[in-house]
Structure 1
């Protein structure tokens, strides 16, 4: 975990996300409060709960991206889920507790990646030793030789010289095409799901774990070149060096102390469902809120890695709230999101900045993609302004999907260039405002056509 000040967090987010200063400040403070809690005495820190955040704004303005970038910035396990995928306990659908299990799985990946980096050199050394043994197998004969005899000493010295020569050739890359036989551990086939409904997820996992322990593990022998076998052997040695139980315990602790859960589309479960008598995705929205409440408040969820407490998990909830308002949520759930930030609609200037400023802006992505074909792609300032203007105009006249509109706009602009790129003689392409308008203006003028194409 990186301990960054709020100002540093906002500065880092500014590299990838345009605008939305209020939201960035709110998440930066929430993250810094985690560091502050860890500095407190244990009796006080246990009482300090996270200040969860409700992000309110239309789609495509950066709600999810802020949370995702924040988690990546500090190395925290992160899970994004749509509140609409859950249903009340007793109905067919996913159990809300599964989001905690997903969070632990994300933490497992982070911890395992960190542990793999620590043992990378040792694993590589052990893999090279195994390759050497495969290329020059240990002597195996049944004739007994006195280990103290001169003959044994001479044979051992000769064999060591052979191994040293083979090692030098292996390190020099002279044996990459030599074939060796390696035995790979097999994987058990997961049992067929017999329980079905999402509310039995934990029971099903327990049954699968039991079957895995009962069923013998198969293995297979494959003939591969040294170049093909090396990464497989490094992976096997890495796994052998990592303590799986330690990884699991560390992952659970990381999820509990640093986990971030992003609940998207929470506005879709706001309000009453009219008695809960319907069917389909809208069934019992109040019930989903009731099931989410203990998770957000702080409870203990059983996972295959052990119990996980959610008391200090940081929750972000987000929604457009077009047809509902935050006060339509259950009062108890509202109280668990004390910080509310409204994100702004994107202006024409915002669209232009989104194209120009982020480290991985769409323009830089297209330039990098076409550079693989030898194409040098350049956008003039008036081309960027024209695309920003058109994106803003279409968002205003049709459905407002925020910055996602730029993906469609740019794809239409470079479509012909991208198609002809491998066969194109002129490898330097300059896109100006006139080119953009020629490609898009007719579509924008025809509102019915732009509704379906842009």
Structure 2
């Protein structure tokens, strides 16, 4: 075969490959079209609301209403469109520029017709409460009551979802309210739980929520985040978990004459979500004002978990308890509850009402439980026991440099003592360890002869240094 024939053959192969690639792209596009609903290019409404779309070139879809309005405007208008071409500053755009103008995150997955709605977790696959708690134990230290309460509530919730269409008896939702000081593991518990169950989870803050029409996120945006976590699959999102953190920040403002748009109004707006109702939510945005498609989500089977630190709630509880205990001949001392570490566990609905939560809101969160503040013993356990403990993370980092990292028990106790003083719970541990590990992580890679580092109490307290052992060396040598 001549060189010319070879060249022609190669060119032909390249053309065939290009055609094949084009076919693959077209095939992928078809699959994408089958999976997601079409969205009108002009009004951004999905096909389920507008009816059948008109397909234009370059995968642009327009709903019948917008198409009709466009025709009416063009036929009834007095402007001569041919003059536009000669007008200064007017540029004609190409239809090719409009391709993919609506991102996938704003497209809604189609609902499959004729198929029965299936629960995410089959009733046989739902792990029993003791199994859920055993898995949580691997990652979360302490908080035994909270883990038990969550395990039972989640187990009952997904049994309720699985039996939704099987029985006439309707089981109520088991929404939860977690109360505990900062850094005690509220968010971490929920994250771990969703990871274990493999269900869609949305974590959001109540601080940014305001009444509809005001600056901030609409209340429905919490459901919009869950929809995004479920890859815009409405049926999957309707069986997910929403964790609303900082719920204490929407408490009713005291002694204010202004409209409480980020407090009591938000609590009232959330009642329908917690109870279970069909709400219109924006897809891929936080506000309905944006030009994005809207879809309807039923919150009947969505599990809501609310969490908050509720500062000063302990004072409200103490005030109630001392009023009860300081009347009559058998009155107790007023300072009896001042040093009670588990004072939050004595919380009642009346205390939450005094804090600023409206009774209708509390009534829709039937499971209320508290998490304990962390003491020194718990902080030491958190440092070394969980599967992804902070110490294990650093040991793995140094193991990549072939250096062994050890911590003396006294050193761990010293770290815990410092963390307790900071009063920010487990969050303080990371900050303290980062501080004293900085020099070690900087110096160790310089010297290949170092084989082991032992962190001592004197190093944590700043009165000495870590024990450095060289490779093959038995006697330790002190540094610093």
Task: Give the TM-score of the pair, scaled to structure 1.
Answer: 0.60
SS in 1 for 2:230: helix
Q: Which has the higher helix share?
A: 1
SS in 1 for 2:163: coil
Aligned residue for 1:96?
219
Tell me if the contact between 1:273 and 1:285 (Cα under 8 Å) persists in the aligned partners.
no
> Do structure 1's residue 318 and structure 2's residue 307 form an aligned pair?
yes
State the Cα distance separating 1:290 from its structure 2 match: 1.3
Check 1:337–1:38 CA distance in 2 against 1; reply closer, same or farther (3 A cut). closer
- Listed one character per residue, the Cα deviations across residues 311-363 of structure 1 (whole Å, up to 9, x for unaligned) are 11111111111135522211111001111111111011100100111000000
Show the 5 A alignment for 1:105-254. Answer: 105-108=228-231, 248=232, 251-254=233-236
SS in 1 for 2:297: strand
Tell me if the contact between 1:273 and 1:283 (Cα under 8 Å) persists in the aligned partners.
no
State the Cα distance separating 1:47 from its structure 2 match: 2.6
| 1:53 aligns with one of 169, 176, 181 | 176
Structure 2: which 5+ runs fail to align?
Answer: 1-120, 284-293, 314-350, 466-480
State the Cα distance separating 1:275 from its structure 2 match: 4.6
> Do structure 1's residue 260 and structure 2's residue 241 form an aligned pair?
yes
CA separation in 2, counterparts of 1:362 and 1:271?
Answer: 38
State the Cα distance separating 1:307 from its structure 2 match: 1.8
Higher gyration radius (CA): 2
| 1:353 aligns with one of 381, 394, 419 | 381
| 2:391 aligns with one of 351, 359, 363 | 363
Show the 5 A alignment for 1:299-314. Answer: 299-303=277-281, 304=283, 306-314=295-303
Aligned residue for 2:263?
285
Check 1:367–1:94 CA distance in 2 against 1; reply closer, same or farther (3 A cut). same
CA separation in 1, counterparts of 2:164 and 2:250?
Answer: 39
State the Cα distance separating 1:272 from its structure 2 match: 3.1
> Do structure 1's residue 433 and structure 2's residue 411 form an aligned pair?
no
RMSD over equivalenced CA pairs, Å: 2.3
Aligned residue for 1:269?
250
Check 1:273–1:428 CA distance in 2 against 1; reply closer, same or farther (3 A cut). same
Task: Give the TM-score of the pair, scaled to structure 2.
Answer: 0.57
SS in 2 for 1:402: coil
- Listed one character per residue, the Cα deviations across residues 17-54 of structure 1 (whole Å, up to 9, x for unaligned) are 00101111111011111342245362647832321111
> Do structure 1's residue 80 and structure 2's residue 203 form an aligned pair?
yes
| 1:386 aligns with one of 414, 423, 426 | 414
Aligned residue for 1:70?
193
State the Cα distance separating 1:433 from its structure 2 match: 2.0
- Listed one character per residue, the Cα deviations across residues 232-286 of structure 1 (whole Å, up to 9, x for unaligned) are xxxxxxxxxxxxxxxx5xx3222212x11111111111123545627xxx75411
Structure 1: which 5+ runs fail to align?
Answer: 109-247, 442-454
- Listed one character per residue, the Cα deviations across residues 379-438 of structure 1 (whole Å, up to 9, x for unaligned) are 12222222122222x13xxxx210001011111221210121321342421112222222
CA separation in 1, counterparts of 2:206 and 2:257?
Answer: 17
Tell me if the contact between 1:412 and 1:440 (Cα under 8 Å) persists in the aligned partners.
no
CA separation in 2, counterparts of 1:433 and 1:440?
Answer: 8
Count, aligned residues: 291
Aligned residue for 2:157?
34
Aligned residue for 1:343?
371
